[in-house]
């Protein structure tokens, strides 16, 4: 938000925000904070300020963070080459330790510290805490020609969400805390699974029937085949983009996650540019369309 300017300008900004504050009061908004969006220290500060402001005006923000680039950097330092299949990291046992160490040990605590420094009360969790994110092994099916069964690709300790336990999040909300969730899930035998953070965000939003799920990433939004930003998409158009292969790599789990959340009753999903300072506040409290909105 414009912090400077005359008192009149600042008052005008607040007055403009009022209808949105009223509309979202008491509502849950799930924010996926992508690893690519958390590179610049000034942007990270702005993100933390936005989250704290949301909480102050009576919104219930829940953060699900990524950290893909941060994991890859540590893997490369250890001499392990990161490999992705359809936007999912191939995760063997050794990689799983790195994933947990980086996501739960470093990135999660960094975000929690940042929010708390700005006056919020954040609590960091992994999906293993309180059985928050229950998972099962993900299989990837690849088309292998007409009249042939699809090829099944095993990508190791990668999970998909089977159930979200809302109790932990409800208790934190009652206490006035801001949950910050690392996307590591727990399987039936207590084993940890690496889950794409977009999928966790969509599942959490769906379980809590959130008002919105917002994905902060490193592009302006979803782009068409010519690279132009698409401001609004219906679920059918999302399907078409996925089928046509226009949405690739990291955009695939975002769209699939948004589709799942909306199918479960979440009203809207937004994919917005985390490189823009205060993108969250612009999206929630102003009329400016930022990024791509996805509606049922």
Residues of each annotated binding site: 67-68, 89, 194
- If binding means CB under 6 A, how many residues of this protein chain bind ligand ADP? 17
Choosing from 28, 108, 196, 257, the residue that interacts with ligand X2W (CB under 6 A) is 196
Q: From the list 29, 37, 48, 284, which residue makes contact with ligand ADP (rule: CB under 6 A)?
A: 37
Q: Is 89 in the site for ligand X2W (CB under 6 A)?
A: yes
State the binding partner of 88 from ligand ADP, ligand X2W, none, CB within 5 to 8 A by kind: ligand X2W
**Binding test (CB under 6 A) with ligand ADP, winner from 103, 210, 251, 262:** 251
Residues contacting 229, CB < 8 A, separation 6+: 220, 221, 222, 223, 291, 292
Residue closer to ligand X2W, measured from CB, 156 or 289: 156
Q: What is the DSSP string of 232-244?
A: EEEHHHHHHHHHH
Tell whether residue 194 is a contact of ligand X2W (CB under 6 A): yes
- 125 strand-pairing partners: 181
181 binds ligand ADP (CB under 6 A): no
Q: How many residues lie near ligand X2W (CB under 6 A)?
A: 17
Of 262, 258, 256, residue with least CA distance to 242: 256
Query: How many residues appear in the chain?
Result: 296
CB 191 within 8 A of CB 159: no
Q: How many angstroms separate the CA atoms of 26 and 5, rounded? A: 30
For ligand X2W, the binding residues in 25-64 under the rule CB under 6 A are 34-36
Candidates 31, 35, 46, 120; binder of ligand ADP (CB under 6 A) is 35
Rounded Cα distance between 123 and 254, Å, is 24
Closest CA relative to residue 291, chosen from 226, 202, 233, 222:
222
Per-residue DSSP letter, 229: B
Report what 158 binds from ligand ADP, ligand X2W, none; CB cut-off 5-8 Å by kind.
Answer: ligand X2W
With b for 16 or more beta-carbon neighbours within 10 A and e for fewer, the 43-82 pattern comes to bbebbbbbbbbbbeeebbbbbbbbbbebbbebbeeeeeeb
Give the nearest distance from C-beta 72 to ligand ADP in angstroms: 11
Q: Contact residues for ligand ADP (CB under 6 A)?
A: 34-37, 66, 68, 217-219, 222-223, 246-251
Q: Contact residues for ligand X2W (CB under 6 A)?
A: 34-36, 66-68, 71, 88-89, 99, 158, 183, 194-197, 250
């Amino acid at each position: 938000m414009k912090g400077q300017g005359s008192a009149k300008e600042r008052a005008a900004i607040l007055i403009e925000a009022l209808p949105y504050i009223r509309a979202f009061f008491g509502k849950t908004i799930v924010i996926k904070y992508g690893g690519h969006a958390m590179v610049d220290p000034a942007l990270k500060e702005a993100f933390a300020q936005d989250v704290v402001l949301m909480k102050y005006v009576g919104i219930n923000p829940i953060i699900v963070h990524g950290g893909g680039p941060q994991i890859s950097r540590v893997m490369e330092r250890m001499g392990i080459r990161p490999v992705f299949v359809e936007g999912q990291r191939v995760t063997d046992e050794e990689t799983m330790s790195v994933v947990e160490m980086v996501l739960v040990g470093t990135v999660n605590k960094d975000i929690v510290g940042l929010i708390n420094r700005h006056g919020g009360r954040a609590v960091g969790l992994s999906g293993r805490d309180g059985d928050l994110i229950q998972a099962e092994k993900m299989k990837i099916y690849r088309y292998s020609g007409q009249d042939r069964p699809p090829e099944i690709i095993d990508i190791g300790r990668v999970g998909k969400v089977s159930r979200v336990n809302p109790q932990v999040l409800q208790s934190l909300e009652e206490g006035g805390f801001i949950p910050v969730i690392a996307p590591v899930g727990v399987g039936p035998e207590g084993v940890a699974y690496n889950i794409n953070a977009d999928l966790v965000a969509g599942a959490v939003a769906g379980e809590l029937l959130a008002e919105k799920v917002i994905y902060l990433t490193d592009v302006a939004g979803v782009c068409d085949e010519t690279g132009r930003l698409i401001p609004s998409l219906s679920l059918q158009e999302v399907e078409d983009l996925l089928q046509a292969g226009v949405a690739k790599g990291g955009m695939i789990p975002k769209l699939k996650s948004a589709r799942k959340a909306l199918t479960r009753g979440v009203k809207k999903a937004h994919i917005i540019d985390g490189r823009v300072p205060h993108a969250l506040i612009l999206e929630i409290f102003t009329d400016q369309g930022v990024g791509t909105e996805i509606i049922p």
